[in-house]
């Protein structure tokens, strides 16, 4: 659109600023609650400008018991391993599929694509994972179901390879006697950094934020909980943290500053995402556009 | 010659094995599990040896009030989400495309996408900070200060359709805005230049140039979302109302119903019947949506 009306420009900026505040303030409210002194929080309620500050919730998390720390480490490890394995599976499947003359390519592409249209639903995949693969109450439950690869990423990745890696370069590498693995490693990967970063980020976020696998498959072993599952259990059950701490011989429950602590854990769970996000924002936006328009 | 080609390509085929194996396990084996909907599951016999019961799981499902409620909620919320979400994202996308300063644009883009980064669990914490009974911002910070009575949000179903719609929009509007924004800034500037020469107002430029050019994208995205009206965001409907029984009438969707039947009330029969209908109807619907998209705009059809 073209206009030189000053008033319109101001209107646009006012609306967008309000929307920006609308997006940020609710998250900010949780952060403020986490640094509000517990009694103030109970008496005065949640507030953007708390009257009495306190870092007690963070100190408590840091010094009392290792429930939160362990959950945090589990989430970090699941995210790191999961993202790595996912990228491995995705790129290794996408690269051969980018070769137009590969026999059987169309059948395999369809097989990948079909999974986006039709799925067995929760009941049957739950039955399979628990009755056939017995992953209930194991670390694998957090890693394997649903998140380790998805058809959508394979297809975006394949399209990127087709459109951005010059055929001539692959031919040249082949003439030099490079094996497919060497080509992938020396030619394809270096040229595909943007898409690998984008897909890796989306996958990483999915692992970091996942709580459903824990909810479905970790029934007894709550000590395998990642940070999202700890949060999930706590919002339903204030006692969770204290029972966990007590069972480990940690600080006794009794006087838990429950609300502040819960909010502080929420902040800690979100912090890495918020800290990393501005640096990868560009790739993230790109990922949305690539995914949205052709998906 | 052909055979030699296949052998030469052997490394390529081997590369695909791990990924395909995962797809077979994660996506294809569960398709066979759809037969569970026609069985009475007895864990001591195993899934495949359990007795066949025909359509009785479906009959049981539709004898309950739940069947109507979960289908109504799933489809109803989805239609509201699609309708409002599309309007909001297009409007914000148009506004965002008007921002010329790069740094300012980046600030807007970054902030409106923030809610999208939250997990459903964190989302429920944010909502809780607003709606908690005594300390929540709305009760203690607004209603009380105005001298109004506090509302117990988590036990009164009548507010939840609005709450869920607002929470959904809060979380996703940035994401969808970015998609429309990308389309809008891709529009050829000369259209607008010509329109301005002819004296077109801002409103005229939006309604005569931007919207008509966005039409194919809008139709495609709406049709594709319509293809998924039997699916709901489990986290939104399970976490945000905190799995509260008092609210099930307006918060229970197919996904939450299936989960509760499977994990909490041990009602696998009805649960699997609902899950089966979701998979199969969803599949048929997406085929239909794609066929329609193909008719309207061949380029954007999925397949």
CA dihedral B278, B283, B289, B291 (to 10 degrees): -160
pLDDT at residue A262, rounded to an integer? 87
If DSSP codes are grouped into helix, strand and coil, which group holds residue A53?
strand
Q: Cα angle at A33 between A204 and B142, to 5 degrees?
A: 120
A40-54, B167-181, B282-296: which is most confident: B167-181
CATH of the domain at B78: 1.10.3720.10
In total, the C-beta contacts within 8 angstroms joining chain A to chain B are 294
| Contact across the interface for B94 and A118, Cβ inside 8 Å | no
Q: H or E segment at B40?
A: strand B39-40
Q: Which of A16, A99, A235 to mutate to test the interface with B (most CBs of B within 10 A)?
A: A16
pLDDT at residue A252, rounded to an integer? 43
What are the angstrom distances between the C-alpha of A230 and each of A71, A212, A244, A269?
7, 12, 10, 10
Integer Cα distance of B22 and A290 in angstroms: 24
- Torsion angles phi and psi, residue B283, rounded to 5: -65, -50
**A18 and B CB contact within 8 Å:** no
What are the angstrom distances between the C-alpha of A8 and each of A178, B94, B209?
59, 12, 18
Nearest partner of B195 among B181, B210, B183, B214, judged by Cα: B210
Q: Which of B10, B25, B26 to mutate to test the interface with A (most CBs of A within 10 A)?
A: B26
Q: Which residue in the set B11, B119, B174 is minimally distant from A228, CB to CB?
A: B119
| Contact across the interface for A123 and B26, Cβ inside 8 Å | no
A118, B283 Cβ separation under 8 angstroms: yes
Q: How many domains does chain B have?
A: 1
Structural domain harbouring B270: 38-116+171-300
Integer Cα distance of B89 and B114 in angstroms: 15
Tell me the average pLDDT across B51-76: 94
Nearest partner of B251 among B67, B73, B61, B127, judged by Cα: B73
Q: Which residue in the set A127, A180, A229 is minimally distant from B11, CB to CB?
A: A180
Q: H or E segment at B105?
A: helix B102-113
Nearest partner of B27 among A90, A148, A80, A157, judged by Cα: A148
Considering only CA atoms, give the Rg of chain A: 24
If DSSP codes are grouped into helix, strand and coil, which group holds residue B51?
strand
Chain A residues with beta carbon closer than 8 angstroms to that of B210 = 1
If DSSP codes are grouped into helix, strand and coil, which group holds residue B52?
strand
* pLDDT tens digits, one per residue of B220-241: 889 888 889 999 999 999 999 9
Residue-by-residue pLDDT tens, chain A, 295 positions: 787 788 899 999 999 999 999 999 999 999 999 999 888 888 888 989 888 888 988 888 888 667 888 999 999 999 999 999 999 999 999 999 999 889 999 999 999 999 999 999 999 999 999 999 999 999 999 999 999 999 999 999 999 999 999 989 999 998 998 999 999 999 999 999 999 999 999 999 999 999 999 999 999 988 899 999 998 888 766 555 555 555 554 444 444 557 888 899 999 999 999 999 988 888 888 888 887 655 4
pLDDT at residue A250, rounded to an integer? 45
If DSSP codes are grouped into helix, strand and coil, which group holds residue A36?
strand
- Torsion angles phi and psi, residue B40, rounded to 5: -105, 105
Tell me the average pLDDT across B149-162: 93
Tell me the average pLDDT across B182-201: 91
pLDDT at residue A255, rounded to an integer? 46
Distance from the B83 Cα atom to the nearest Cα atom in chain A, whole angstroms: 17
Q: Which residue in the set B23, B96, B182 is minimally distant from A112, CB to CB?
A: B23
Distance from the B232 Cα atom to the nearest Cα atom in chain A, whole angstroms: 12
Q: Which residue in the set B26, B110, B179 is minimally distant from A289, CB to CB?
A: B179
pLDDT at residue B4, rounded to an integer? 63
Q: Which residue in the set A41, A212, A266 is minimally distant from B122, CB to CB?
A: A266
Q: Is pTM, for the whole model, over 0.90?
A: yes
All domains of chain A in start order, with CATH: 64-291 (1.10.3720.10)
How is chain B split among helix, strand and coil, in percent rounded to 5?
Answer: 75, 0, 20
Q: Cα angle at B34 between B28 and B40, to 5 degrees?
A: 140
Integer Cα distance of A46 and B134 in angstroms: 9
Distance from the B158 Cα atom to the nearest Cα atom in chain A, whole angstroms: 22
Asked if residue B139 is part of any domain, the answer here is no
**A281: alpha, beta or left, given left = phi > 0 and alpha = psi -120 to 50?**
alpha
> What b-and-e string marks burial along B265-299, b requiring 16 or more CB atoms within 10 Å of the CB?
eebbbbbbbbbbbbbeebbebbeebbebbeeeeee
pLDDT at residue A65, rounded to an integer? 66
Give B181-185 contacts, CB < 8 A, sequence gap 24+. B181/B92, B181/B93, B181/B96, B181/B97, B182/A289, B182/A292, B182/A293, B183/A293, B183/B93, B183/B213, B183/B214, B183/B217, B184/B93, B184/B94, B184/B96, B184/B97, B184/B210, B184/B214, B185/B97
Nearest partner of B124 among A271, A44, A234, A78, judged by Cα: A234
Q: Which residue in the set A111, A184, A293 is minimally distant from B179, CB to CB?
A: A293
Tell me the average pLDDT across B33-61: 89
Tell me the average pLDDT across B61-65: 93
Asked if residue B141 is part of any domain, the answer here is no
pLDDT at residue B133, rounded to an integer? 83
Integer Cα distance of B88 and B76 in angstroms: 18
Distance from the A12 Cα atom to the nearest Cα atom in chain B, whole angstroms: 6
**A51 and B CB contact within 8 Å:** no
pLDDT at residue A245, rounded to an integer? 55
| Contact across the interface for B114 and A24, Cβ inside 8 Å | yes
Asked if residue B208 is part of any domain, the answer here is yes
Sign of CA dihedral B138, A60, A246, A218: positive
What is the DSSP code (8-state) at residue A164?
Answer: H
Q: Which of A2, A32, A148, A208 to mutate to test the interface with B (most CBs of B within 10 A)?
A: A2
Q: How many helices (H) and strands (E) does chain B have?
A: 15, 2
Alpha-helical (H) ranges within chain A are 6-34, 38-44, 56-63, 67-97, 105-114, 121-127, 140-143, 151-164, 167-175, 180-183, 189-191, 193-209, 212-217, 227-236, 240-247, 258-293
A267 → chain B, closest CA residue: B122
CA A50 to chain centre: 31
| Contact across the interface for B210 and A1, Cβ inside 8 Å | yes
Asked if residue B266 is part of any domain, the answer here is yes
Chain A residues with beta carbon closer than 8 angstroms to that of B94 = 1
Residues listed for chain A: 295
Integer Cα distance of B47 and B53 in angstroms: 13
The interface pTM score, or ipTM, of the predicted complex is 0.92
Asked if residue B32 is part of any domain, the answer here is no
């Amino acid at each position: 659109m073209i206009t030189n009306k000053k008033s319109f420009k101001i209107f646009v900026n006012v609306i967008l600023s309000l929307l920006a505040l609308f997006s940020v303030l609710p998250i900010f409210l949780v952060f403020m609650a986490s640094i509000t002194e517990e009694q103030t929080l109970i008496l005065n309620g949640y507030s953007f400008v708390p009257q009495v500050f306190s870092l007690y919730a963070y100190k408590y998390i840091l010094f009392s018991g290792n429930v939160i720390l362990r959950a945090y480490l589990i989430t970090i490890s699941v995210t790191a391993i999961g993202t790595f394995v996912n990228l491995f599976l995705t790129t290794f499947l996408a690269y051969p599929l980018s070769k137009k003359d590969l026999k059987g390519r169309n059948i395999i592409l369809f097989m990948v694509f079909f999974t986006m249209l039709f799925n067995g639903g929760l009941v049957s995949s739950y039955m399979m994972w628990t009755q056939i693969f017995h992953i209930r109450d194991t670390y694998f439950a957090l890693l394997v179901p649903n998140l380790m690869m998805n058809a959508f990423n394979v297809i975006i990745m394949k399209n990127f390879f087709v459109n951005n890696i010059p055929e001539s370069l692959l031919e040249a590498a082949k003439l030099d006697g490079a094996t497919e693995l060497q080509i992938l490693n020396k030619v394809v990967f270096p040229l595909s950094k943007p898409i690998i970063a984008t897909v890796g980020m989306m996958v990483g976020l999915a692992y970091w934020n996942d709580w459903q696998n824990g909810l479905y498959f970790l029934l007894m072993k709550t000590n395998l909980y990642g940070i999202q599952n700890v949060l999930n259990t706590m919002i339903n059950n204030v006692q969770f943290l204290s029972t966990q701490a007590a069972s480990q011989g940690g600080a006794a429950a009794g006087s838990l500053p429950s609300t502040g602590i819960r909010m502080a854990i929420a902040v800690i769970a979100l912090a890495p995402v918020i800290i990393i996000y501005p640096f990868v924002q560009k790739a993230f936006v790109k990922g949305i556009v690539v995914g949205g328009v052709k998906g | 010659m052909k055979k030699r080609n296949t052998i030469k390509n052997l490394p390529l085929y081997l590369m695909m094995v791990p990924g395909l194996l995962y797809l077979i396990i994660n996506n294809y084996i569960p398709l066979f599990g759809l037969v569970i909907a026609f069985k009475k599951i007895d864990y001591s016999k195993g899934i495949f040896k359990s007795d066949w019961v025909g359509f009785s799981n479906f009959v049981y499902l539709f004898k309950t009030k739940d069947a109507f409620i979960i289908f109504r909620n799933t489809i109803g919320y989805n239609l509201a989400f699609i309708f409002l979400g599309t309007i909001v994202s297009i409007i914000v996308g148009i506004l965002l495309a008007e921002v010329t300063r790069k740094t300012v644009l980046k600030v807007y883009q970054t902030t409106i996408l923030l809610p999208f980064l939250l997990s459903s669990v964190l989302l429920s914490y944010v909502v809780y900070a607003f709606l908690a009974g005594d300390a929540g911002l709305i009760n203690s910070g607004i209603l009380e200060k105005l001298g109004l009575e506090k509302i117990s949000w988590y036990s009164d179903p009548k507010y939840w359709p609005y709450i869920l719609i607002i929470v959904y929009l809060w979380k996703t509007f940035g994401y969808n805005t970015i998609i429309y924004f990308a389309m809008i800034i891709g529009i050829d500037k000369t259209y607008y230049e010509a329109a301005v020469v002819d004296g077109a107002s801002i409103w005229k430029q939006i309604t005569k140039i931007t919207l008509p050019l966005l039409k194919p994208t809008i139709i495609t995205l709406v049709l594709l979302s319509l293809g998924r009206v039997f699916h709901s965001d489990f986290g939104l409907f399970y976490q945000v109302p905190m799995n509260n029984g008092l609210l099930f009438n307006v918060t229970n969707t197919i996904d939450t119903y299936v989960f509760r039947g499977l994990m909490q009330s041990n009602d696998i029969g009805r649960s699997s019947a609902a899950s089966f209908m979701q998979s199969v109807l969803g599949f048929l619907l997406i085929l239909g949506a794609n066929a329609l998209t193909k008719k309207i705009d061949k380029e954007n059809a999925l397949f």
